Structure 1
Amino acid sequence: MRLPQIQIHTTDAKLDLHIGKPSQHIEQPKATQHIEQPAAILEINTTKGVLIIDSSQARRDLGIIGPIEATKNAAKEGQQAALSGAARRASEGRKMMMSAGKGQGRATIQNIAKQNHGPHRVQFNIKFVPSVGSVKIDYTPGTTDVNIQRREPIIDAKVSKPIHEYTPGKVTGTMVQRPKVEIDVIDKGVSTLNEAKHKIYR
């Protein structure tokens, strides 16, 4: 017994594709920014220093005095000289009175004249003029008060949105060759001249 044979022939499909690339454009505009810095407030308060120099004692040591003080000193020295002269004359009169009638009056008068008009020994000494510490200095330092008030900066920033443009790609296709399947059935039990063929297309 002979079985029929089956022959299968396939033809692949062919496509012609056209692909359009997508396009994309992204732009980021710059942000706008405004910065302002107000000036700080600075306050400085100062008090002056006070310097006092008293050189009156040094001037007195040098003999430089004002007219009022010179008048007072002269009056005081005159008063002391008057009192000293009155006391000296009273003492001399008492001495002359005690020696009267005793034969010593001449000697007493000579001694009194010698004391008043005789040579006097003057003490010699070194004196520093003006004296040490005669100039008095008093200083009160000044003060400085600094007050700084800081001010915050003013910042105004605006962010711009990005610009995004996108065009998607396109794909188009054309069927150049359609797929095909051919099936042949050959029955060997029949004469070759009368061979039956059956074709199936898909």
Structure 2
Amino acid sequence: MLFPQIRLRSTFAQTELQIEKPIQEIQQPNAEMTMEQPKAELTMERIPSRLTIDQTQAREDMDLKSVGRRIEEAAQLGYQNWLAGLARVAQDGNEMMRIENGGGAIVRQAKRNSEGPPKEFNIGWIPSHFSVKIDYEPGSVDIQWQVRRPVVDVEVKKPIHQYIPGFTQVNLANYNSINIDFENLRHVGTGGYEQKI
């Protein structure tokens, strides 16, 4: 016995894509930079320290005197001796004027002129204390500076950008279809009529 059959065959529609990729180019030129560093200015003013040592008195205490000092002392000593001699001669003259009064003026003058002054001795330091004079003036340093800032000049370069957009084209490669087929299909009518479809 043959059963009727309906056969369906269908195909799906197929699309076709044509794609053009986008193109992008970016170039970044280097920036230009110039830098200049001016020199700093530095000024220094220095006053040197001063140390003075005067050992004149210490050298005189050790009898190491300069010629000028020796001449000055000799002149002073001569003047004092002259004044002392003048006073002594005047005193002796006054005593001799009164010789008639007695009293032994000649004996006293002879004794005075023959004997020197009494000798004195004491502890001494050569050179004497604080005979070296020291004077110190400290120095100073004045420093002035002026800082110079760097001069920086930067020229920025914009990027070079090229862009070609892409696109997509959609086409229908195959259309959809349906095919219907009948097998063993019959129509039976009245009166024994039969027809194959």
TM-score when scaled to structure 1?
0.67
1:169 equivalenced with 2:166 (yes/no): yes
CA RMSD of aligned residues (A): 3.6
* Counterpart check, 1:59 vs 2:56: no
CA–CA separation in structure 2 for the residues paired with 1:47 and 1:120: 56
Kindly tell me: are residues 14 and 141 of structure 1, through their superposed partners in 2, closer, same or farther at Cα, counting changes over 3 Å?
same
**Code of the aligned partner of 2:66:** I
Rounded Cα–Cα distance in structure 2 between residues aligned with 1:163 and 1:192? 84
- In the superposition, relative to structure 1, how do residues 109 and 15 fare at CA in structure 2: closer, same or farther (>3 Å)? same
- CA separation of 1:131 and 1:187: change in aligned 2, threshold 3 A: farther
Tell me the secondary structure at the aligned position of residue 83 of structure 2.
helix
Contact 1:59-1:65 at 8 Å conserved across structures: no
| TM-score (norm. length: structure 2) | 0.69
SS in 2 for 1:193: strand
Identity %: 37
Q: Distance in 1 between matches of 2:135 and 2:194?
A: 151
Measured at CA, do residues 137 and 119 of structure 1 come closer, stay the same or move farther in structure 2, by a change above 3 Å?
closer
What 5-or-longer segments of structure 2 have no aligned partner?
1-5
Aligned to 1:193: 195
Residue in 2 that maps onto 1:199: none
Match of 2:85 in 1: 85
- CA displacement 1:23-64 (0-9 Å, x = unmatched): 333232222211111111112222333433333333333350
Please give the residue correspondences for 1:132-151 in structure 2 after superposition, counting only pairs within 5 Å. Answer: 132-151=129-148
Count of residue pairs the alignment pairs up = 186
Q: Which runs of 5+ in 1 are unaligned?
A: 1-5, 196-202
Output the CA distance in 2 between the equivalents of 1:140 and 1:101. Answer: 70
Instruction: State the secondary structure of the residue aligned to 1:72.
Output: helix
